[in-house]
Structure 1
């Protein structure tokens, strides 16, 4: 019996849509990261990009537990002297809600060459409308119930 190896030409990509209203940031990000990698498929291989597209709606309505709104900080540097910028989660949710979820998902993906490819398939919107109707996205909640993730 021969070993099956998935080629990138054989990958069939599906589209999933999820409403982030009232969902926990970390649990939602881990579910999205697994779907982007393709871990929900029986033909998953960690060195092959076999994941699916994910559309996230209402990204500004995610929730967090505890005191993370004031205690969690996002740090970045402008590469200028004294250019360290520190933003709280509360500020980020008010001004850049898409980036909060994108950073959470990106940091859950493996740090290799495939990470950029995975992130290109993630579409995040703050409203309840998206321009991907032609792809006929399936609800991701059906898949999440199988995993009991959210």
Structure 2
């Protein structure tokens, strides 16, 4: 039996290895947000498949969801981590554009179902105090006005 041919022979081995380590759930940024939310006293569910887009973190009682987006994969505007690929651009640019459009549709769908949505970008994870403040502001009930 002969070895299986490489699907994309033009992709360097270093990039191939790097891309193979990327996972859909449980990324380092996602885990950091989950740990912080738990440390702040919030309880949640993860990856609810019954909701559009399978949100990373779900607070069912509050009807709030959080997506932790990688800046490259979801093309964070004006972010140094959202650089454009230099190899196989005919494949990557349309794919990244589809990701952005899909994210927009998912956010609209969730809001139509009565859920509040927060997107936390990979580049925002490093400022722990600012992230904690964003989580508190998003998750705390808004004050009732007369």
**What is the TM-score when the length of structure 1 is the normalising length?**
0.28
Structure holding more strand per residue: 1
**What is the TM-score when the length of structure 2 is the normalising length?**
0.29
Structure with the greater relative contact order (CA < 8 A, sep ≥ 6): 1 or 2?
1
Q: Which has the larger radius of gyration?
A: 2
